[in-house]
Amino acid sequence: MRSFQGVASLQGKNFMNIDELTDVELRDLLSLSAQLKKAYSSPSPSVLPRPCEGKSVSMIFQKRSTRTRVSTETGMALLGGHALFLGPQDVQLGVNESMRDTANVLSRFNSLILARVFAHTDVQLLAKHSSVPIINALSDLYHPLQALADLLTLEEHFGKGSLQGKVLTWVGDGNNVLHDLAMGAARLGMHVRVACPVGYEPNGEIMHRVEWHAQRSGGSYVMERDPMTAVAGAHVIVTDTWVSMGQEEEYERRMRDFEGFQVTRRMMEHGAKGSNAGRPACVFLHCLPRHPEEVTDEVFYDPARSLVFPEAENRMWTVMAVMLSLV
C-alpha cells in the first residue's frame, strides 16, 4: 500500500459487512479514507500516487445505483486502475451462467470483484468461488460501503475519535443500510436508537451483534416505537427510503405504515442542543436517493445540519480505501 503508511491491509479477505472487520480494521479504513481524501483533493493531480496501476475491478450490478457506480469508477481511476461495469444485461448471476463459473471467470481477468445484488446469498456464493477479493456493494442484508461513508462524515463533523458517547437515531425502515451503520456506530462507542413501525424491524440476529458490540465499546442499543422519543437528545438523525427496489407493489401500504416517521424540523430541534466547535450538535444523514415523504426539504437542504452531500462524496473516498486495502 505504497504512499499510505500505518494502515492495516485486508489482503486475503473479502469485504462483506462491518461485523466481519476487526476494530483495528474498521478504524484503519476510516483513517485511510481520510488520507486518500486529503491526498487526492490536491490541486496537483499529476503528482498523485497511482497504487492500483495495472489493477482492475469488475462491478456486477443487479440493482442500479448512481453513487456506487460513479464513486467506484472514479475512485479506481484516481488510484490508477480500471473499473468495468457489468449490468443485468451483461451478466445474469446464476441465470445464463452459474455463480461459480462467473466467479471463476471474472477472477482470471480482475484484481477485485464488486457486487451489488438483491440476495446476500449471491455475494456469499461469489466469495466462495472467487480467487480474488469480493466487495459487497449492497445486498438485502448489508451495505458496508455506505456505513463507512457515514462514519467518515460523522468523524469529519464531530472530530476524529469523538463519536464515543454520541447518540445516533435511525428513523424509518429497519433495512440493510441500518444494519451496517448500527454495527459500525456501536463498535465506535455510540448509543444507537432505532424507531421503526411495527413489522419493519431490523434483522434480530444482526441487531443482537450490534448490541454485543455496543456493550463492549461503552455504547448501547435500544428499539423505540415513537420517533420523537428516539430522537430526543440525538446527535445524529438518519433515515432512508421507505420503499426499496423490488418493493414497489407495497408503496401504498408502506406510506400508511410510515405515517409519522418523516424527519422534520421539529424532530431535529428535539435532538441534541447547542453546538460542537461552532457546528450544530444535531445533524442529518440520508444515503440517497431521497424522497420527500422521508424528510422535509427544510431539513434535507439545511446547510448547517444536513450532511447528505458530503456523505455522498465520501462514498468515493471510502470505496477507494476498501479497494486499496484489498489489492
pLDDT at 51 over 80: yes
- Indicate left, alpha or beta for 6 from its phi (over 0: left) and psi (-120 to 50: alpha): left
Question: Are residue 72 and residue 126 in the same domain, yes or no?
Answer: yes
Assess whether 28 and 117 both reside in one domain: yes
Helix (H, G, I), strand (E, B), or coil: what is residue 148? helix
Asked if residue 208 and residue 77 are part of one domain, the reply reads no
Q: What angle do CA 23, 17, 67 make, to 5 degrees?
A: 115
Say if 86 falls within a structural domain. yes
Q: Do β-strands 220-224 and 82-86 pair in parallel, antiparallel, or remain unpaired?
A: unpaired
Tell me: the pLDDT tens digits for 242-293?
A: 887 777 888 899 999 999 999 999 999 999 998 777 788 999 999 999 999 9
Number of structural domains the chain divides into: 2
Owning domain of residue 91: 18-142+315-326
Count CB atoms within 10 A of the CB of residue 26.
Answer: 21
**Tens of pLDDT, residues 79-110:** 999 999 998 888 766 677 888 999 999 999 99
Contact 293/242 with Cβ under 8 angstroms?
Answer: yes
Percent of the chain with pLDDT over 70: 96
Q: What pLDDT score does 95 carry?
A: 73
Report CA-CA distances (Å) from 325 to 12, 54, 94, 189: 10, 15, 29, 24
Residue 128 identity: K
| pLDDT of amino acid 91 | 79
Active site residue 287: yes
307-324 per-position pLDDT tens digit: 999 999 999 999 999 999
Q: Are residues 160 and 290 in the same domain?
A: yes
Instruction: Tell me the pTM.
Output: 0.95
Which one from 52, 196, 282, 287 is the annotated catalytic residue?
287
At 270 the three-state DSSP class reads coil
Same domain, 84 and 163: no
Residue 280's Cβ-count burial label (10 Å; 0-12, 13-18, 19+) is buried
Same domain, 251 and 293: yes
Instruction: Return the residue matching grid coordinates 436508537.
Output: 193
293-310 pLDDT per residue, tens: 999 999 999 999 999 999
* 114 plus 180 within the same structural domain: no
The stretch 129-150 carries a mean pLDDT of 98
Q: How confident is the model at residue 5 (pLDDT cuts 50, 70, 90)?
A: low
Instruction: Looking at the structure, tell me whether residues 230 and 163 fall in a common domain.
Output: yes
1 within a domain of the structure (yes/no): no
The x, y and z cell numbers of residue 261, run together, are: 416517521
User: What burial class does residue 90 get, using C-beta atoms within 10 Å of its C-beta: 0-12 exposed, 13-18 middle, 19+ buried?
Assistant: exposed
Predicted pLDDT at 279:
80
**Alpha-carbon distance 178 to 184, whole Å?**
10
Mean pLDDT of the chain: 93
The pLDDT of residue 34? 96
Q: What is the mean pLDDT of residues 184-193?
A: 98
Mean pLDDT value across residues 146-153? 99
Q: Tell me: do 148 and 159 sit in the same domain.
A: yes
Q: Look at residue 8 and tell me if it is in a domain.
A: no
Q: How far from each other are the two terminal CA atoms of the chain, in whole angstroms?
A: 8
Identify whether 10 is part of a domain: no
- Using alpha carbons, list the distances in angstroms from residue 213 to 20, 79, 142: 12, 33, 17
CATH, residue 130: 3.40.50.1370
- The pLDDT value given to residue 1: 44
